[in-house]
Structure 1
């Protein structure tokens, strides 16, 4: 070292998270490939301090499945080698949460850390580094004195590179928090070359005067010839030890206590570079917005509870499981069937708790559920929720409460996941033409249309009504029914036909009645195909079995994809131990096809499409009617 130039104060951090609802092998993978190599190798270098953040979901799993690793972290915390970071227990996008949930999630993880490790965290991790200035007040209220944002967010705030080697103070309504920049540029270098080289070059480049704080949370470090992660970390820590003349590993709290004055900064609404704004993401992906809307609606139901604080808290803690950041930040996770199902299971579980110890009364609510400016119609029965919208006059949520299962939780395809280096605009462009899938999506097709090709999206001819705005012609809360209609439309195939749809929900049975009327002067021959999507735990005999019902004969297993002249279907949901009976007053042909989304090397199941097809001829002013029903039992 030359001329008494100060060392680099290195905050070496590590972040690990797995979403709630992930399959067991993914927990194993994150633990074995990421967390365990870092912690177990760091333990051998007691002079190297680090900041560790694990989501509550992952820590809870480690506690029960890797107790020796959990005890190792306990030991390293007690000897002050590791400083634990707090945050939301389920790794939520904090700006999207109501205030009581922000505080509740942070306090839940703080309580867990204090109980198991004996110390309250002094700072926190911001999931996806999604920031809004009004986060400061709840963070400070929860005892957080510091947090981390990316160097890009510092740069976007006008902070020059030479001023980034120190935390800043940020204030909101008299509350102040210290913010450390996380250097992604240095993290990328550490993944490509040796730590000694990286920190020697950095130290030589830094100004001679003053102290310099550098925060990194490397996802990986430089490896040789596909060596194991623990070998790579061992070499990394060895190189840090050999660089002790220019690098000293410190904890964030030591930096805060040792510095007397920091510059002030105000950070705009932002997220780390390459991440999509969660609010724009909700607009782009209706399925993510549906989960968010359900969370807000469930929150409202919980807030209406009076006099039973324990039940209210139980419901709130169940709801928090659905607030993880993953479903609100990347289509890669939104495509994951198990994560969406876990979110809905938590939300419906919380809703069930709100109904306990009360006499539940069936209702029909007119309410702007998804915040699009148009009211939706929410049927709520003791065992079924059925949410309908005017766009396409279809069902977008169908909850079977005894199993806490949303049978309409499916997902459209929004293109491949966006990489860290892609612009958010590239993803947003992909989503412009996509929309939320609904059940009872009406289509008028030419006679002889290939139903399977239509479900595959290869046929665009005909009149497709799922994207049309239906009018509400009757809405009776007492009788529990709502009537939608779509007027004749000039210049489109089969545009002379008026559609009237009536939805009602009684005693675990959803009824949908249709009236089609030809207002043209000529006869019209067409196929009418109202598509119904149902989402099961998976595809195949181990998850779902379907039987066709035909008058005068016994039920028979359906032959996929086409079955002819059926009166109805009996669908066995094997994993949920539930039965869905689909009935029609007219016989129909049906095409049944599972929907998959390809994500990388995997084909991910989303839902199963049932396309009943009716061949109809209508003369001028003639009408055709049909009654469908969906009955759920277990």
Structure 2
């Protein structure tokens, strides 16, 4: 029989900012037991990739596991792949950061594991052809993507073995197709299924090469897989099956393959990722339609051919689907530019690429913080939590703010005016040594980022409630009478709590700060909880005019708009002024409303703030009203009359956020809770706390009404 070469490549990764206990659990259930079994099969060659942040953690907290990896590398059983140090989506980065991430990780692997990484793991297999020249400049010789990339280019499954050559700007990269069929077989199907698939290629030609490339967490960490892979013995059965067929199945590595085998030819690939990722990148309604089309063609005789050319969206579209991800991305670019402007350390200026280490101090420390903030997980959402997990987003902002602090030597208070969020419109950034406050005049004059610099916290790091395609599964869910066998993480049908169906409410605007509401008097707290607040005017998201003043002791931002009320233009004038001084972590806000119509205006005027604390119901997170009245945890909902102040206390963070106003208000408090899908099912996630004080207004023509609000951050006594 003809011989077949098989590359077994596993990618292991944990997001920057993930909990320590998650690292511990996944290491114990997946990474460590996998390596222990593989050590007993030294004749089975492997390719392993660990994201840099994970390897740093393993080196510090599991030195035995780290030494096991090192030993397998020294013995030649394992090839280690490089990549972006902290697992960024490379197409998301400026070129300077692509090169820096790859080169620094290549050097780290060589220094700590004696590994010479010639190839990289491409994070989430997000491919754009222009990557080729960047990868080659970084010293990369080869990478692996999914075979779906190749099928979209018109290749047939039978042709997808071996590796191909691709080119950009005259630079040539070797690129391997990873088999989707093998991804679904290993470790979910019986080992003989994999052998049967390999035999099909052996019958076509001698020395065919197949690649299995997927997540290492499938081997013990994903739901039900620890029992399946280890306790039920799947992994050892698979390895024994390979041994029994070693006369015609040879395990190999990427490096050995490019040294010994010729390429299959030239290929140019469309922008793509793995199939599921491109589906998730579609807008929610678009994804529902995509799923309907997929089902419609599934049983057609021409279905397989049509399926080959049916693809979803592009990874970049996550920044459209989730504006919060785009804001984080734009913030990352702002900090990246600042890091790039730091002069290099003179003693390192003469280091020659491709593998300079990260410099110590100055730019090097700032680069490390920036690179951690470029970790991909928080910038998208699919079957796992990703963007929906507040602690991951918080880590991104923390590293961005730390990087920025290493770049910024300015003191005092000042204003920056430019297009921070890349929409061709100007935003305003008020900053002093303790706070950054970003304002969006063309979106209701909202405050969309509020950074408390001493703690590296964005206090407006929230996520709005929005429809997801998988919410249909919640609404259509029926009780399960039995648990199905494991096939794939994508096929697991999660249990659905009835309460989740009651939580499926969506917001019509981004949940930020300084949001102006003009509500009918009958509007109720329940309307807000359900995302159905009726608006009398257009103050919510309509553009405000804006100008600023700088003084020696502070800065002022002045926003104003003539609002339409119930269809009548120029009915109400709203002016709001935000003052920031040079010394304190607080904002002083002054409102002036004037009835410029010829009719009486009766409404509830409200100013909404959505604040992201570390948790909702956990111990040590609670509200205080008017200094002393403790009314409950940060995930309560309720209406409180005649209140002038609220504190959001977070003992875990060691601080409290205060909001106070000079006129008694009806105060609405409610949690911002999303419903999202994770690897283990559907879950409610606390994204922040909504604080909405309301004032009843009855304004005759010519009347004016004024209000002062003060918001700030206070450190708690230890």
Structure 2 stretches lacking a partner, 5+ long: 282-313, 347-360, 471-488, 493-503
Check conservation: 1:53, 1:125, Cα contact below 8 A. Answer: yes
| 2:609 counterpart residue number | 532
| 2:338 counterpart residue number | 301
Check conservation: 2:465, 2:673, Cα contact below 8 A. Answer: no
Check conservation: 2:401, 2:456, Cα contact below 8 A. Answer: yes
| 2:20 counterpart residue number | 24
The structure-2 alpha-carbon separation of the partners of 1:118 and 1:192, relative to structure 1 and needing over 3 Å to count, comes to closer
Distance 1:526 1:36 in 2: 62
| 2:83 counterpart residue number | 87
| 2:596 counterpart residue number | 519
| 2:42 counterpart residue number | 46
Distance 1:616 1:369 in 2: 36
Residue in structure 2 matching 1:198, options 194, 201, 217 = 194
Distance 2:239 2:639 in 1: 62
Residue in structure 2 matching 1:620, options 684, 696, 701 = 701
Residue in structure 2 matching 1:500, options 565, 575, 584 = 575
| Shift, 1:117, TM fit | 1.2
Residue 131 in structure 1 maps to residue 127 in structure 2: yes
Check conservation: 1:284, 1:432, Cα contact below 8 A. Answer: no
1:262-289 alpha-carbon deviations (Å, 9 max, x no partner): 4111222222212122311111211111
1:199-231 alpha-carbon deviations (Å, 9 max, x no partner): 234324545444211000255479999545362
The structure-2 alpha-carbon separation of the partners of 1:116 and 1:462, relative to structure 1 and needing over 3 Å to count, comes to same
Distance 1:589 1:498 in 2: 22
Distance 1:25 1:591 in 2: 36
| Secondary structure at the counterpart of residue 566 of structure 1 | strand
| 1:352 counterpart residue number | 405
The structure-2 alpha-carbon separation of the partners of 1:431 and 1:195, relative to structure 1 and needing over 3 Å to count, comes to farther
Residue 288 in structure 1 maps to residue 362 in structure 2: no
| Secondary structure at the counterpart of residue 487 of structure 1 | strand
| 2:463 counterpart residue number | 411
| 2:301 counterpart residue number | none
TM-score (norm 2): 0.81
1:41-67 alpha-carbon deviations (Å, 9 max, x no partner): 111111110100111122122222222
Check conservation: 1:14, 1:51, Cα contact below 8 A. Answer: yes
Residue in structure 1 matching 2:686, options 597, 601, 605 = 605
Distance 2:51 2:219 in 1: 22
Check conservation: 2:198, 2:210, Cα contact below 8 A. Answer: no
| 1:427 counterpart residue number | none
| 1:587 counterpart residue number | 664
Check conservation: 2:538, 2:565, Cα contact below 8 A. Answer: no
| Secondary structure at the counterpart of residue 587 of structure 1 | strand
Residue in structure 2 matching 1:158, options 154, 161, 165 = 154
| Secondary structure at the counterpart of residue 463 of structure 1 | coil
Distance 1:190 1:350 in 2: 41
Distance 1:335 1:435 in 2: 17
Counterparts of residues 379-390 of structure 1 (less than 5 Å): 379-390=430-441
Counterparts of residues 2-401 of structure 1 (less than 5 Å): 5=2, 7-219=3-215, 220=218, 226-229=227-230, 231-275=233-277, 276=281, 277-306=314-343, 310-330=361-381, 332-355=385-408, 358-390=409-441, 391-401=443-453
The structure-2 alpha-carbon separation of the partners of 1:293 and 1:596, relative to structure 1 and needing over 3 Å to count, comes to same
| Shift, 1:308, TM fit | 5.4
Check conservation: 2:419, 2:427, Cα contact below 8 A. Answer: yes
Distance 1:336 1:171 in 2: 38
Residue in structure 2 matching 1:475, options 528, 548, 552 = 548
Distance 1:519 1:410 in 2: 35
| Shift, 1:336, TM fit | 0.2
| Shift, 1:112, TM fit | 2.1
The structure-2 alpha-carbon separation of the partners of 1:526 and 1:56, relative to structure 1 and needing over 3 Å to count, comes to same
Distance 1:133 1:145 in 2: 15
Residue 451 in structure 1 maps to residue 525 in structure 2: yes
| Shift, 1:587, TM fit | 1.7
| 1:425 counterpart residue number | none
Distance 2:510 2:139 in 1: 41
| Secondary structure at the counterpart of residue 707 of structure 2 | strand
| Secondary structure at the counterpart of residue 148 of structure 1 | strand
| Shift, 1:321, TM fit | 0.8
| Shift, 1:405, TM fit | 0.6
Distance 2:620 2:652 in 1: 6
Distance 2:628 2:113 in 1: 59
1:6-62 alpha-carbon deviations (Å, 9 max, x no partner): x11001111111101111232123223322232211111111101001111221222
